[in-house]
Amino acid sequence: MKRLLARHETYIFGIIVVFSIIITAINPNFLTLENAFDILKSNAFTGIMAIGVLFVLISGGIDISFAATATIAEYLTVLICLRVGGSMLFAFFSALVIGIILGAVNGYLIDRFAVPPIITTIATMNLYYGLLIVFSKGRWIYALPQYFRTFADIRVITLYTAEGLPYGLSIVTALWFVLMVLSAGLLFYTRLGRSIYAVGGDAISAKRVGVSVKMVRIFVYAFMGAMASVAGIVQALLVQAVAPNSIVGKELNVIAAVVLGGASLAGGVGTVSGMFLGVMLLAIVQNGMTLMRVPAVWYDVFVGLVILFSVGSSSWKVKKEKVGTFIDIEPLSPPMVQEGGR
């Protein structure tokens, strides 16, 4: 119990519960299965990118270019699929190749030239995005291959509303969940995963225990690229159109969601479950504001406040946790019995 209270996740979960109660009180439609499935579907895109961001943050880095990567992977893949045909599997494969290459380039540059990752990825963001706009001339693609539509409509679980309309757990939500489970396993149960934490904690120490810091760096940025490219395809599935400018600009919200979930910008800290809660908190705030008919322009203000409040409250808690030796205070003879510390 005490362990649970000490966890960041518990706080975020608490905040989510409070928000849910408030929103439901105003609009009971919030707390329905239908709405829940809807939130999970429309946030799969952000959520998948957040997995990549989580890895990068744990390793002590940061990536600003992933939205550009996602767009390029999405745009090029759809173009290729339209030219040469293919299938959904091929689409994911092609996007992954593009995403991994672009991400690995980031990782290589950051490790090779020791330029701070924020600078490197701002540069590559501009480069990637700039090239895309130049070559696509900003054109949208409306006519996606038919299999994009059929795939997007797949439901893993199907239920029916009182009026007999079908709803349920979308395939993209399932994809997001599968990726989260795999990533959590990778972070917790593999040597690679622990190396990422080690590098984020102290890169020099990591080198001294035999971790190849370079490989870890390249891996996390390549992984970020992979997640971004999958998210790009998910975006195409959700919107059923591809716009070169629709994703870029969302980077900071994704990073904020991950930090909200307990990852530290200083590196070494973060969990998949926390990240999920962080994404959900922002999603619920957004959804709730729509349901409560708050004008959309207020959204950013609320997001800012929510981030300040939750990040602030948990770091205040950390500050209270004191560093100390385990002192076993000598008990006084009664009547003043001092409780033995640890």
Distance of closest approach, residue 108 Cβ to other proteins, in angstroms: 21
Cis ω for the linkage preceding 335 (within 30 of 0): yes
Distance of closest approach, residue 54 Cβ to other proteins, in angstroms: 14
Distance of closest approach, residue 212 Cβ to other proteins, in angstroms: 9
- Measure the CA–CA gap between 202 and 204, rounded to whole angstroms: 6
Burial class (CB in 10 A: 0-12, 13-18, 19+), 257: buried
- In the complex with other proteins, the residue whose CB is nearer, 187 or 306, is 187
Structure tokens at 177: 């969940």
- Measure the CA–CA gap between 187 and 180, rounded to whole angstroms: 10
- In the complex with other proteins, the residue whose CB is nearer, 59 or 94, is 59
User: Are 96 and 226 a contacting pair, CB within 8 Å?
Assistant: yes
- In the complex with other proteins, the residue whose CB is nearer, 267 or 288, is 267
- In the complex with other proteins, the residue whose CB is nearer, 164 or 341, is 341
Q: Which helix (H) or strand (E) holds 28?
A: none
- Measure the CA–CA gap between 35 and 168, rounded to whole angstroms: 10
Helix 213-239 vs helix 44-58: angle between axes, to the nearest 10 degrees?
Answer: 170
Burial class (CB in 10 A: 0-12, 13-18, 19+), 193: middle
159 three-state secondary structure: strand
- In the complex with other proteins, the residue whose CB is nearer, 210 or 334, is 210
Q: Which helix (H) or strand (E) holds 197?
A: helix 191-201
DSSP characters for 308-331?
HHHHHHHHHHHHHS-------PPP
DSSP assignment letter at 247:
S
Distance of closest approach, residue 322 Cβ to other proteins, in angstroms: 7
Give residues in contact with other proteins (CB under 8 A). 188-195, 197-198, 200-202, 204-211, 267-269, 321-330, 332, 338, 341-342
- In the complex with other proteins, the residue whose CB is nearer, 85 or 331, is 331
- In the complex with other proteins, the residue whose CB is nearer, 127 or 213, is 213
- In the complex with other proteins, the residue whose CB is nearer, 52 or 270, is 270
Please, what is the Cα angle at 318 between 269 and 340, to 5 degrees? 120
Distance of closest approach, residue 251 Cβ to other proteins, in angstroms: 25
In our burial notation (b when 16+ CB lie closer than 10 A, e otherwise), range 204-224 reads eebeeeebebeebbbbbbbbb
Distance of closest approach, residue 55 Cβ to other proteins, in angstroms: 15
- Measure the CA–CA gap between 91 and 89, rounded to whole angstroms: 5
- In the complex with other proteins, the residue whose CB is nearer, 152 or 263, is 263
User: Are 216 and 196 a contacting pair, CB within 8 Å?
Assistant: yes
